[in-house]
Amino acid sequence: MILRRALPLALTVLSLAACTEGTPAPPPAAEATTPPATATSQSPLPAYRYSDLDLCAATDLAPLAALKLTLKEKRRAAPDGYRKGEGEACLHEMTTSSGDIARLTVEAIPAKSADEAQGIYRTLDREPMKLDGAVAGPWEQGEGRTLDTVESYKHSRYQVQALSGNLYVSVWLAVGGDAYTPKEKLAPIVEAIAAETYATVARAWK
């Protein structure tokens, strides 16, 4: 009697085993993972930092030879709106062969951030100078601007400003006379001085 009851139970166990033999085992439960911490955004440190640099001594005036200008005075200073140690500038006072006034201004500013440098770069949008287009060079951004005005004499001005990260460089040349100096004559001179100035500053302040 005991054997008869045990036999159906044994058959039931074997039947259940046969039914589950071809069914794949459920995947193991995924291990609980801790979500990665969210990275906090930080502004990169300025790539260029101020150190003593006399742009009056560092600026090569050779590209000006075609204009036959005579250098009268160099004045080292901080750029307008900045204090000593926040940037460098040099004003070159010159005269043309006819005795008219000419000026070359070279300046460089290592801004506190790339955004601040971009703000300086865009300041010229509020000035009357006309955009002359992009200027290629060792910088990330560069553009030329031009302006002809009449004060007590005709006055032609060309400027190149350049930007890389937090470094801003500007070179402008103004030439007076009875007639305007063509932009096509001024532009390559200013571009050459701007490229050399940028390279000098970038090496000194990197």
Whether 48 is covered by a domain: the verdict is no
Alpha helix segments (H runs only) across 67-109: none
Per the structure, how many domains does the chain have?
Answer: 1
Query: Rounded mean pLDDT of the chain?
Result: 83
Q: Is residue 172 part of a domain?
A: yes
The answer as to whether 90 is a domain residue is yes
Question: In this structure, is residue 176 part of a structural domain?
Answer: yes
Q: What is the pLDDT of residues 125-149, one digit of tens each?
A: 667 889 999 999 999 999 999 998 8
The answer to whether residues 146 and 128 touch, using CB atoms and an 8 Å cutoff, is no
pLDDT, residue 149, reads 83
Q: What is the pLDDT of residue 123?
A: 86
CA atoms within 13 A on the CB side of 145: 20
Domain that holds residue 159: 55-205
User: What's the rounded Cα separation, in Å, for the pair 24 and 16?
Assistant: 15
Q: What CATH number does residue 71 fall under?
A: 2.60.120
pLDDT at 121: 93
Instruction: Over range 67-74, report the average pLDDT.
Output: 97
131 belongs to a structural domain: yes
**Least confident segment among 87-101, 124-138, 184-198:** 124-138
Mean pLDDT of 79-106: 96
Structural domain includes residue 132: yes
Residue at 16 is within a domain:
no
Please calculate the CA angle 56-57-63 and round it to the nearest 5 degrees: 80
Q: Is residue 188 part of a domain?
A: yes
* Structure tokens that stand for 78 in this block: 């901080």
